[in-house]
Structure 1
């Protein structure tokens, strides 16, 4: 199971809740019956919880530093972290990767600019489309000079020419034609995906060359302990390029264990904070529950299910 910043906070809160409840029981047993100067019960628990959180954060930092080696993949770059050595960051993404995506984005951008205004009586789309058309025309003249292989140029020209033609027709008509926009998207689906295929091949080749070099520098024991964190937003989480690659070289069973998708995290320090949470919570889960993955799901999950069965019945269908 992969991790998000939200689950990171939830897990940290759960750990705190466990420890705070245990500590709270011991405190209640030893507290004098009457103490005039003692803070209210709620404040004492709040103070305790605050200290538990502080102690947890310090333990997490320490365990994060021990979770080496680790690779953090941040879009175009990857960083190798090893104990006692400086971090090594390298780009594995060639410039042509971006050019393929840039051209694909022309078609996607035309659709995104026009789709909200399909068959509507509005001119809100006109200025953005005029600007997009102007820039598309300028970029179209550079296609021969930005590194595309000769056998890929025709596809780039097709995407540009179809996109420019639709923009010109739409501006001339003064309205967004829904069927025309749908036909445009259907026509360019295959060329856009082909650009994605070419971009993916370039990036995978670069990543494979880099990881192969790093793997040769690691001992078998280090490779067996390696954690990999792949940074990215929500939408490309499923079948993410780097995740697919590391599943092949680490084993598919490592996804959610030593191979983590850091959803919504976009810098290395935040990713390492997540790694610290993961290794801390898994050690805690083994100590308390005998299952290293128990804290990878909501601490309240079992109790929630039991209570929901009481409220709705165990056989009640989940509404969709």
Structure 2
């Protein structure tokens, strides 16, 4: 049996190796691909070198971490109140998720019932542990009230075997005052923790290091108008925001990847400056302007609709 297994493994390995060799040979035989690969490899090596020298860099993720040429120093960003109140408030998201898409009355869609049963069970488990989270008496009472309101609604819907949009809207309205209170307290807890960590990090950095430091936040800036961390950074380091030294890395995970994002942005600015004389040019798709003109030719605009 062992020899048979080893033989199978060898056969599979040979197949994989052969496929890989064919793919490599195909790439080598394609002069366009080979040239493109060579040029991009050089480009990426330059970007890697630029990333390596992008120090110091401040990473704002779970903690605030300053990465220098000599190592890393992390400053805790603990905010239990923020996590507790935010997580409890997510009961509203659970209710919305359970009725989305809205159940079709003409089918035997049982998903909302299963989800409501889960919500009830999770609330029961959570309520049993809520008192041990170290909340104030006021916060504890508010969270219990919100959770019990959601539980009573879910149980009532199951008992009636019916839900209506009006009933869902009403229970959300009933919980909204506590939700709003949670948001205010969560924001305060998050900002206090962030400000403490950033202040400690800043105090340990020389003025020279601070001037050249990039700040990378782990999180997307998809909320363009009111982003908590961006609002904070605009208040405490407006000169860095204006200079383009504050970056949002939506899809980077881990300190090395976040630091690498700073190198990526710097490389894109080098390309814009060298080719167009504008460091920010690569924020626009390289083919974007040309594509707009071509689309004007390809797809003529329809005549405007008549107006009253």
Could you tell me the TM-score, scaled by structure 2's length?
0.80
- Distance change >3 Å, CA 64–CA 147, structure 1 → 2: same
- Distance change >3 Å, CA 202–CA 308, structure 1 → 2: same
Contact kept in structure 2, 1:285 and 1:295, CA below 8 Å: yes
TM-superposed CA distance for 1:235, in Å, is 5.7
User: CA separation in 2, counterparts of 1:79 and 1:296?
Assistant: 27
CA distances 1:191-227 after superposition (whole Å, capped 9, x unpaired): 2132122112111111111111111222223222221
The count of residues paired between Structure 1 and Structure 2 equals 277
Q: Identify which of 69, 88, 91 aligns with 1:103.
A: 88
User: CA separation in 2, counterparts of 1:45 and 1:310?
Assistant: 30
User: RMSD between aligned alpha carbons?
Assistant: 2.9
Which residue of structure 2 lines up, in the alignment, with residue 80 of structure 1? 66
Matched, 1:172 2:163: no
Instruction: Show the 5 A alignment for 1:231-250.
Output: 231-232=218-219, 239-250=226-237
Q: Identify which of 261, 274, 281 aligns with 1:274.
A: 261
Contact kept in structure 2, 1:234 and 1:264, CA below 8 Å: no
Contact kept in structure 2, 1:119 and 1:178, CA below 8 Å: no
TM-superposed CA distance for 1:100, in Å, is 0.6
Structure 1 unaligned spans of 5+: 1-38
Q: Identify which of 181, 201, 206 aligns with 1:214.
A: 201
Which residue of structure 2 lines up, in the alignment, with residue 140 of structure 1? 127
Greater mean alpha carbon deviation, residues 264-273 or residues 91-100? 264-273
Contact kept in structure 2, 1:80 and 1:87, CA below 8 Å: yes
Greater mean alpha carbon deviation, residues 217-226 or residues 204-213? 217-226
- Distance change >3 Å, CA 189–CA 255, structure 1 → 2: farther
Which residue of structure 1 lines up, in the alignment, with residue 101 of structure 2? 116
Structure 2 unaligned spans of 5+: 1-25
Could you tell me the TM-score, scaled by structure 1's length?
0.77
User: CA separation in 2, counterparts of 1:314 and 1:218?
Assistant: 56
